[in-house]
Structure 1
Amino acid sequence: MPRAITPRRRPLASAAAALALAISLAACTAAPMPTPTPTPTETPVAPSGDGVLRIGTLFPTTGATAFLGAAQVAGVNAAIREINAAGGVLGAPVEVVNRDSGDASTQTAEASFAALVDKGVDVVIGPSSSVLATRLLPLAVEAGIPLVSPAATYPGVGSTAEGFFARTIPAYPHQGVVLGQLLAEKGADAVALIVGSDDVSSSIASPLESSLADHGDELVATATVDAAAGVAAAVAKATKVKPDAVVLATPDNGDVTKALITALVAAGYGGGKLWLTTQNLADYSQALPAGTLNGANGILEGIQPDAAFVAKLKVEDPGLTDARYGAEAYEATIMAALAALVAGDDGGPSIANRLVGVTREGIRCTSFGECADVLETEPDIAYEGLVGPLRLDGAGDPTIATYTVFSYNGENKYAATGPVTG
């Protein structure tokens, strides 16, 4: 039986050595590969809250990814507005403390996390970055404060987090499941895959192969490329078997990816035969000759929020121009509040203990208010909000996830064509 999660708060200074080691390892090693994680049996823990649920946020307002921060802050604030309008949590209004995570090139996230601990937060929504999540998790476990990320997608982030990590966005390998489904629907019986040499990119291979097989199709070739010099060989290996489609899973939209796209198109694998993945889906209008990607496809984790939800975000931030990850941040906040309700305690260990459970088995409910009403008479809920029925596993990873499908036009710009859930 899994051991109970118990409070282990202590001053951050006493965890400094462990954190330094974790940061060093995160900087020097590739992201961990995913491992099967069963859903743990929930074991009651000793209450540790003070009666007020305090939610901290760690999103980038400075640094290279600052453009992603505003929507996530707005998503959290919108959720808290609704939670408090429905009566709050355990009879008290929810409080929020916002802090900047910066990007992975700084120590801003560590300093901000320390500030959130000093403010007495019970749960942190964020960070957006997988690298930062990996760096902060040792501190989160020591402080007894769970992290719920709306945007961290690296595989295996929460596999050793003792229940103190969850996310409302799928881990990178999960897109292989969805791509297998999509390609089968498109009539691609034989599929080739080109991956980068990094562990994150290559983690798509096994799920894609399994998903294709489940639909009666086959992954007929997998080629790895690690530098521009290897592009020709990778394209030759992928196209030699004459697949119906090629999936390109590289870690960014840089020179190697552009060279691969150019070579694949020249080999007759452009248009609808080419699929980009979540790390290399980008605007190539200034990077490639017009028409190169016309008709090509791509997918990206998460939903495209509808106008009603965008309007809700703009109540919190009237100047908001990009809503990406706003819905996922909103969902993370609702889930944390529901976990506190189910536990009957706003303490971080209690929330960590119940985060997975509120998404899995019980009476289906689709908003905080509806779920709170259900909990008046029923002990278990299965929350299914804006991003759908996540059904988190024991590592806090969604086992069901929604993606947005995109198509490129003649200017090498992409536009959404619809959602897909897998």
Structure 2
Amino acid sequence: MTREAPTRPSRRPAPRSATTLASAVVALVALGLALTLSGCVGDAGAPEDDTAPAPIATMGQPIPTGDGVLTIGALVPLAGADAPVGQAALAGMELAARDIHTAGGVPGTRLVIIHADAAAPGALAGLVARGADVVVGAVGGDALVTAGNDGSAAGVAVLGLQPGTGVDDAAFDERLFGSDPGLTSTASGVEGYDAVVLVALAALASGDDGAVSIARFLPEVSVGDTECASFGACSDALRSRLGVRYAGALGTLPATAPVLAGATG
């Protein structure tokens, strides 16, 4: 059934709280809890070409720990005043997953996005229990602060991105509405999109979808000499053995590497 898209709102929503996506911080964290969570948002499928690229040589290569499924957990607000921000972030993540698949994906790897309400008790632990390799969410939120300081057993990469710069892009917003016609705001949509692209590029660069490899290679796709604004362009550069800097879908990501904290492996 075709749904009519609502009147397009501004990318700027009602005032955002600490649940908004916040900036360029990556940490390996460990959680040993097992709780329930939400279902699958999107599955980009596996590309037909399963020839994995060799990892690029400018960084040490961790021992591969991936299982062929790159699972990204979205820890975003899904209820209350900040729900439009979380829904837009999810729409951006789904859109990125489809664009990555269309561009050839990460060879031999299936990309899956799962989600949980950032305000729900045990939400982060539940994403980890469901097999998230990477959790994307609000660094300022209590759950990710706890995650970044946790030192127990099982590792997951945690990534937060800076809230938008206020740049509006009508074409990108239209694409977000195509992903979810029910959106009432597009704020944080591009941040969700860029987070997924960065994670997929790190997996491509490392030749592994494990959390340790992704955390280790996120800087490698953030500060290289070759600037690119899409997964396809960046993956072409990586296959040519070039260091890349993903500049973001709107070209607004800062030219600085994500900070690694507590990386292990």
- Return the TM-score normalized by structure 2: 0.71
Equivalent in 14, 18, 32 of residue 11 of structure 1: 32
Corresponding residue of 1:390? 254
Corresponding residue of 1:381? 244
3-state SS of paired residue (2:78): coil
* RMSD over equivalenced CA pairs, Å: 2.7
3-state SS of paired residue (2:73): strand
Q: Does 1:323 pair with 2:186?
A: yes
Equivalent in 319, 333, 350 of residue 213 of structure 2: 350
Q: Does 1:339 pair with 2:192?
A: no
3-state SS of paired residue (2:214): helix
Letter in 1 for 2:254: L
Bigger relative CO (Cα 8 Å, ≥ 6 apart):
2
Taking a change above 3 Å as real, the CA distance of residues 365 and 58 of structure 1, as seen in their structure-2 partners, is same
1:81-100 matched pairs, under 5 angstroms? 81-100=98-117
Letter in 2 for 1:55: I
Task: Answer with 1 or 2: which has the greater Rg.
Answer: 1
Letter in 2 for 1:388: T
Identity fraction in percent:
37
Contact residue 198 and residue 218 of structure 2 kept, 8 A: yes
Contact residue 140 and residue 147 of structure 1 kept, 8 A: no
Mapped to 1, the partners of 2:151 and 2:90 lie a distance apart of 20
Contact residue 340 and residue 354 of structure 1 kept, 8 A: yes
1:37-56 matched pairs, under 5 angstroms? 42-56=59-73
After superposition, give the CA deviation of every residue in 1:306-343 in whole Å (9 maximum; x if it has no partner): 11111111112101121111111111110011011111
Contact residue 165 and residue 252 of structure 2 kept, 8 A: no
Deviation at 1:361, TM superposition (A): 1.7
Corresponding residue of 2:228? 365
Equivalent in 149, 161, 170 of residue 138 of structure 1: 149
Corresponding residue of 2:50? none
Q: Structure 1 or 2: larger helix share?
A: 1
1:15-34 matched pairs, under 5 angstroms? none
Mapped to 2, the partners of 1:376 and 1:84 lie a distance apart of 16
Taking a change above 3 Å as real, the CA distance of residues 308 and 119 of structure 1, as seen in their structure-2 partners, is same
Mapped to 1, the partners of 2:115 and 2:253 lie a distance apart of 27
Mapped to 2, the partners of 1:127 and 1:74 lie a distance apart of 16
Contact residue 12 and residue 139 of structure 1 kept, 8 A: no
Taking a change above 3 Å as real, the CA distance of residues 75 and 54 of structure 1, as seen in their structure-2 partners, is same
Question: What residue ranges of structure 1 are gaps of 5+ in the alignment?
Answer: 1-6, 14-40, 103-107, 150-166, 170-300, 397-422
Taking a change above 3 Å as real, the CA distance of residues 9 and 90 of structure 1, as seen in their structure-2 partners, is farther
Corresponding residue of 2:128? 117
Equivalent in 167, 189, 197 of residue 304 of structure 1: 167
Could you list the runs of 4 or more consecutive aligned residues of structure 1 that deviate by over 6 angstroms after TM superposition? none
After superposition, give the CA deviation of every residue in 1:42-92 in whole Å (9 maximum; x if it has no partner): 432111110121111110012442232111111111101101111221233
Mapped to 2, the partners of 1:318 and 1:53 lie a distance apart of 26
